[in-house]
Amino acid sequence: DAKTTQPPSMDCAEGRAANLPCNHSTISGNEYVYWYRQIHSQGPQYIIHGLKNNETNEMASLIITEDRKSSTLILPHATLRDTAVYYCIVRGYSNTGKLIFGQGTTLQVKP
Amino acid sequence: DTGVSQNPRHKITKRGQNVTFRCDPISEHNRLYWYRQTLGQGPEFLTYFQNEAQLEKSRLLSDRFSAERPKGSFSTLEIQRTEQGDSAMYLCASSLEEGTYEQYFGPGTRLTVT
């Protein structure tokens, strides 16, 4: 599975959009981009995933560049409850399904 | 609540003792994963089951660790002769075999070895 690079930390004002970037320059054609988050002292929570098209669900939007070498997770209206560590993970569909977590981005939403 | 549950939530033990953790996955999920997370790090994969078969083990899983999933339902993770380096959060996750492969995580068991 391709490696990902994320900034270690970001701040966002409550009510504003939070844009979390992720680089995955070695991603291959059959690998998906997944985002999970982990709120303090809880297990990770699935947010969204995509292959090459932009995706949106009730939690977030995922924007993947045309060359698929980077992506951005967008939380449209961040709340204090969105303060968490956000992990970007690249994974193929054909493997065991195990997730390889990096260090993630710690998002601090401030009032 | 039909999510993934783990017991106990916290365990304090003395070095050299054996401990066992339990994970109850979402009932229709046939894949079950164990991860370990130390302070400030992302979770690390330990092992996974498809139904009752243990199909992959990480090199992180030393001989002192054993996991089972009898009858493809709940799973147990046992650590024998615990060491201080085993102190961590142990996370369990489950997923469907097919489909989007998203994993649902339990709240974890925090182990402290004194």
CB contact under 8 A, A97 and B44: no
Q: How far apart are the first and last CA of chain B?
A: 33
Per-residue model confidence as pLDDT tens digits over A16-26: 999 999 999 99
Per-residue model confidence as pLDDT tens digits over A66-87: 999 999 999 999 999 999 999 9
CB contact under 8 A, A97 and B33: yes
Amino acid A8: pLDDT: 96
Separation in Å, CA A39 to CA A23, A87, B56, B68: 22, 11, 28, 28
- How many other CB atoms sit within 10 Å of the CB of residue A89? 23
pLDDT average, residue stretch A7-17: 97
What average pLDDT does chain A have? 93
CB contact under 8 A, A43 and B33: no
Amino acid A29: pLDDT: 84
SS3 B72: helix
Amino acid B32: pLDDT: 95
Task: Confirm or reject contact between B72 and chain A (CB < 8 A).
Answer: no
Which residues does chain B have within 8 Å of residue A98's beta carbon, measured at their own beta carbons?
33, 45, 48, 56
Concatenating the DSSP letter of every residue in chain A gives: ----B--SEEEEETTS-EEEEEE-TT--TTEEEEEEEE-TTS--EEEEEESSS-EE-SS-EEEE-TTSSEEEEEETT--GGG-EEEEEEEEESSS---------EEEEEE-
CB contact under 8 A, A46 and B103: yes
Amino acid A94: pLDDT: 60
Nearest CA in chain A to B99: A93
Which percentage of chain A shows pLDDT scores above 70?
95
Measured in angstroms, the CA of B79 and the nearest CA of chain A are apart by 21
Measured in angstroms, the CA of B98 and the nearest CA of chain A are apart by 9
Pick out chain B residues at pLDDT < 50.
Answer: none
